[in-house]
Structure 1
Amino acid sequence: MNPVIQVLLMALIGALIGGMTNTIAIKMLFRPYEAKYLFGKRLPFTPGVIPMRREEASAKLGDIITGHLLTPEVFEEKLKSPETDQLIMHFIDRQIETIETERLTPSYFLERLSSGLTDKIVLSFNEEIRLKVSEEGNKLYGRTIDDIMPPDALNAVDSKVAHLAYDINDKLVQYISSDKGYSDIYTMVDELTENRGRLARSLKYIMTKDSLTERVQSELLKLIQQEKMINIENRVIEDEYNKIKQSELQELTTHSDLDNILNSIIKVLQEKIDIREILNTPITDFNKELFDRFKNYGKYQLKDNFIEYSGKNMSKIMNKLQLAEVIKKQIDSFELSKMESLVMDVANKEFKMIMLLGYVLGGIVGVVQGVIVLFF
């Protein structure tokens, strides 16, 4: 064979081998997507390199991105940039404007977080009122009146009770001295002289009913106004008052009475603290002056606090977000065909150059081999 043709033939064969080898190597990065088996044994180089190392590569890529690219320091620096400051401020202004123009309520935001959350809060709040009132009521049920009453109220009642005997006596004197008192005494004297035996009836022959009534009235007034009588009244009143003070509430009321009282208190509290009405009140109506102050000044403090808090807790936030795990899951869920297409589109020119380089190197190796064969 002609030496030149032999060298060219070997160069052609070498170029084909080099080019096809590189082409197959590039294809084997992705293909086949799944392992192939022959007689129950997995064939070598199946699946392709990337499918085989997909989970390991996705985990490494997630660690690289979160460990060296999207680090807490990067986010913190970005948060403190003028662009982010302006963006956050614009977002807050938009939210304030929406709240004001659309008269949004706390209930609106609660429902955005979770449907039915307003009803749950209302039920929970009312149930908490019921539980707390019932709990405190049951505690009070076993305590004495003296222990339950506030000191100021107890002192006021003590002062009233101390003068109660004198007050009662004054009322009795006014009553007995009045025409009504005289009439009632006259009626009792008449009943006495007519219906209480001979001795009582004989009194009407000695004294007239009017004189007898006047005498009884006079004696009653003298008896009532005696200091000794007042002291007796005062002692009896104080004894009974002290007994009441030392009595437990359960001695004075039944469980049914307690339930009625507690239910009344619960009803009043739930009506006075209407949590549903509060949650359905436009935020701007809670306190107009406070809302205007926030709109003009407070929003800047909110923005600064958000940036400061986010910056200080960025590491914790990123740990909670588990970005590395998220990146890994996203890569693992990405279809291999789409990934291959994406890589090929991005590195198409480079892959073509690799294949061309395979042809060139293969051709050079073929020429060298042909020359060596000719000389040896």
Structure 2
Amino acid sequence: IPKVTQFIVDKGISYFESKEGKQKLGKMIEDFLATRGMLGNMIGMFLGNESLVDKVQPEVIKFLKNDETKVLVTTLIGREWNSIQDMTFNELDQKWGFVEKGSRILDTVIDTLKVDELLSKPISTYLKPNEEKIIKEWLPMVVDVSTKYLISHLDEILKQLKLEDVVREQVESFAVERLEDIILSISRKEFKMITYLGALLGGIIGGLQAIIVMFIQ
């Protein structure tokens, strides 16, 4: 809030020091005198509008530069900010018309950027000119970042996927006959390999025994 206050005060000083600000100040004095009837006309006649502006302008700038002015503006903004925080979105919209103003701004942006025209074009229109850069730079970077993320969060991802529960549910949903077929198909392969290995070892041992017997005799 103090930064906002300083910004407002600085802009105010800059404005009223400018030619435009002086003219606006003169118009305000003229309108003020016009509402005071004969007294205003007499003051304007004796002093003149230009003379009043020359006297009022330095006082306005002096007022804005005063530290008490900053304190006053800070207090007012703080009070308004506290009030805003207690308001609902509907109340804010009723007070400042956010929805209507936001819609107008959005329409202006859409018209200026020709969003409808941009969205009606195929994606290839935007990808084709950058094809080489996408393939050689962007895609490897995306893959690298994605891979590092997956590796660093693998445990968490597996927990989120609940793979153990999925496997358990799938196994529990199997029919008993299906489980028996799976177990027997695996065991047959293992038993066959054991049989072949036993035959091989038996042949090797038998051959060695035969050789030893020949040497002994």
**TM-score when normalising by structure 2:** 0.44
Hey, which of these two has a bigger chunk of helix by percent? 2
Q: What is the TM-score of this pair, normalised by structure 1?
A: 0.29
